[in-house]
Structure 1
Amino acid sequence: MRFGYSETCLDHDTGPRHPETADRLRAIRRGLAKRHGVEYVDAAPAEKSTVTAIHDADYVDEFESFCRGGGGNWDPDTVAVEESWVAALASAGLAEWGARSALAGDDGRDTPFSLGRPPGHHAVVDDAMGFCFFNNAAVAAQAVIDDGLAERVAIFDWDVHHGNGTQDIFYDRDDVFYASIHEDGLYPGTGEVEETGADGAEGTNLNVPLRAGAGDADYVYSFEETIEPAVEEFDPDLFIVSAGFDAHRHDPISRMRVSTEGYAMLTERVRDLCENTDAALSFVLEGGYGLDTLSEGVAIVHETFDGRIAMDPDEEPDQKNVDLVDEIRDVHGLGSK
């Protein structure tokens, strides 16, 4: 894979006890150093005008001023320093690079994966939250739409937390499809099955709030039975994965049971779906707070594109999640199993 990476993102200093630290990127780099075929690209930061195509201009100005003043706690969880402004622009720029590269034909072993921080999927139009300041995936999607490179973009979020920001930004848009598999009831408490889109965009938002303890079989089954047919129907030009790795069974802040191999299973199915729908594909880093499991997760995505064949789940999905999938298929008109 080709990994978007900028040393600037290391300068976003959240403090010694914060889970979202620069050590996350350092751990990923160490893990990838052992793998074949890794390429790094230091992309240009996003322009402020590109960010304000998604985020309220007054909020963006306020965040810039906040950083120039030395930063601090934006909220109890979301921390900035002076350098966070340029790091946030760099992170958004990496996501934009990934989307543009994918649409320009980078695929297979050249599939782009942007390794930026701060992450983005909790950032709403006019506010930061959940470690996130700019919604990187949303900025990337809007940039390629505005430039006429794509008419329809799908964003699939496999972070353990629901991407409330991405959902809110595109909730009434029929040119962006957002789908999330996340832990039910976890921060920020959004992402219900009934949240399907609004104002003519009904059906372009799909949530799979799996119960705590869900593992590989539950994730794979949910993807195959809900997201895959919905994306096939939407027929996007670009498919962006908001790739958090905090649903891993050893991540310190979730109760899910996805294995490293489970991320290979999801990656393989995402890749096959994009091949079948002729959609360009890019990845954007979101969460993941166990340094070993995060680095293993990113590495297994890379290895999947480097020719490794994923295993199949060794168990059946939990019945409560099978029932949830049936409900989602009914709500979205995907038919009964």
Structure 2
Amino acid sequence: MQFGYSEVCLEHDPGPRHPETPDRLRAIRERLKRKHGVEYVDAGPADLETIAAVHDREYVESVEEFCADGGGDWDPDTSAVEATWDAIQHSTGLACWAVDAALEGASGRQTPFSLGRPPGHHAVYDDAMGFCFANNAAIAAQHALDSDDFDVERVAIVDWDVHHGNGTQDIFYDRDDVVFVSLHEQGLYPGTGDVDETGEGAGTGATMNFPLPAGTGDAAYLAAVDGPITTVLEDADIDLLLVSAGFDAHRHDPISRIRLSTEAYALLTDRLRAVADECNAGLAFVLEGGYSLDVLADSVAMVHETFDGREPIEPNGDFSDDAAAVIEDVADAHGL
């Protein structure tokens, strides 16, 4: 794979006890040293106009000023230092690079994966939260839609981070040019993402949420992808599939109770690659969460291995009635 990476993103440091540490990127890089076919690209920073295409401009300017003044605690979870603004610009720039590369035809072993931080999927239109200041995936999706270089009419964002991508949903909730799908743990921060949150206005039906119960494992995630998610994405006539790739749904992540294996990320990658191929859509990945350093590094490496020719291993066993009920409810909510 091609990995977007910038040393500038290491300069964002929320503090020694914060889980969203620069060591996350260092661990990924160290793990990928063992893999063949890894390439790194350092894209340029996104400018304020690109970020403000999906965020309130006054909010974006306030974040820049907040960092210039030395940063601090924006809220109890979300902190910045002076260097955070540069990291935000490079993280969003890397996400935009990833979609550009995908739309230019990068695929297979050249599939792009943006390793930026701070992460983004909790950042709403006019506020930061949940470690996130700028919504990298949303900015990249809008960048693709606005680009004169590509004929992009509809983008899909699939968010497999264990937390609901409330910021991405907030930004695109009333639009039909972005299909947003989130698989997340029910009741976990930020407490949004119910099945009946399906969009409004022109965006009615373009948001799909799977609030899965604690303890859910690989088989249920695959059933969701193989069923309602694939159906909706293939019907949507998408030009770009963007994965908000958090790895905190892993069974060994310290802040969640979803029970995915490392192998699950190979399986999910393989399934979504097949959907993108069927839709003739570009495919790109943008890093979100993941807070066990070893698990995060192994899981990113597993995504890479999937594009490097490794065949995923199908899981054994069924899944709970509660998880099955969520998948059925989602299908019903979308008329499937």
Common fold: TM-score over 0.5: yes
Is 1:205 the equivalent of 2:196?
no
CA distance in 2, matches of 1:86, 1:293: 27
Tell me the SS of whatever aligns to 2:202.
Answer: coil
User: Partner amino acid for 2:61?
Assistant: D
TM-score, length-scaled by structure 2 = 0.99
> What does 1:51-70 align with in structure 2 at a 5 Å threshold?
51-70=51-70
The aligned residue for residue 304 of structure 2 is: 302
8 Å CA contact 1:221–1:317 kept in 2: the answer is no
Corresponding residue to 2:193 among 167, 191, 194: 191
> What does 1:139-158 align with in structure 2 at a 5 Å threshold?
139-148=139-148, 149=150, 150-158=152-160
User: Partner amino acid for 1:65?
Assistant: E
Per-residue deviation, 1:278? 0.7
| 1:224-248 CA-partner distances (Å, limit 9, x unpaired) | 1111111011121000000000000
Query: Structure 1 runs of 4+ off > 4 angstroms?
Result: none
Corresponding residue to 2:247 among 242, 245, 249: 245
Aligned-residue Cα RMSD (Å) equals 0.6
The aligned residue for residue 78 of structure 1 is: 78
> What does 1:5-16 align with in structure 2 at a 5 Å threshold?
5-16=5-16
Tell me the SS of whatever aligns to 2:276.
Answer: helix
Corresponding residue to 2:169 among 167, 170, 178: 167
The aligned residue for residue 116 of structure 2 is: 116
User: Partner amino acid for 2:206?
Assistant: T
Is 1:314 the equivalent of 2:316?
yes
- The answer to which of 199-208 and 19-28 deviates more is 199-208
User: Partner amino acid for 1:310?
Assistant: P
Is 1:4 the equivalent of 2:1?
no
CA distance in 1, matches of 2:306, 2:242: 17
CA distance in 2, matches of 1:246, 1:220: 17
CA distance in 1, matches of 2:114, 2:326: 32
Per-residue deviation, 1:200? 2.0
8 Å CA contact 1:161–1:183 kept in 2: the answer is yes
Tell me the SS of whatever aligns to 2:184.
Answer: strand
User: Partner amino acid for 1:66?
Assistant: F
Consecutive unaligned residues in structure 1, runs of 5 or more: none
User: Partner amino acid for 2:70?
Assistant: G
CA distance in 1, matches of 2:217, 2:199: 27
8 Å CA contact 1:92–1:134 kept in 2: the answer is yes
Consecutive unaligned residues in structure 2, runs of 5 or more: none
CA distance in 2, matches of 1:323, 1:57: 41
Per-residue deviation, 1:320? 1.4
User: Partner amino acid for 2:198?
Assistant: T
CA distance in 2, matches of 1:326, 1:292: 34
User: Partner amino acid for 1:271?
Assistant: R
CA distance in 2, matches of 1:94, 1:286: 13
User: Partner amino acid for 2:235?
Assistant: E
TM-score, length-scaled by structure 1 = 0.98
Tell me the SS of whatever aligns to 2:164.
Answer: coil
| 1:291-320 CA-partner distances (Å, limit 9, x unpaired) | 000000100000000000001111112221
CA distance in 2, matches of 1:283, 1:291: 19
Aligned pairs, number:
334
CA distance in 1, matches of 2:4, 2:34: 18
User: Partner amino acid for 2:247?
Assistant: F
Q: Percent identity?
A: 61
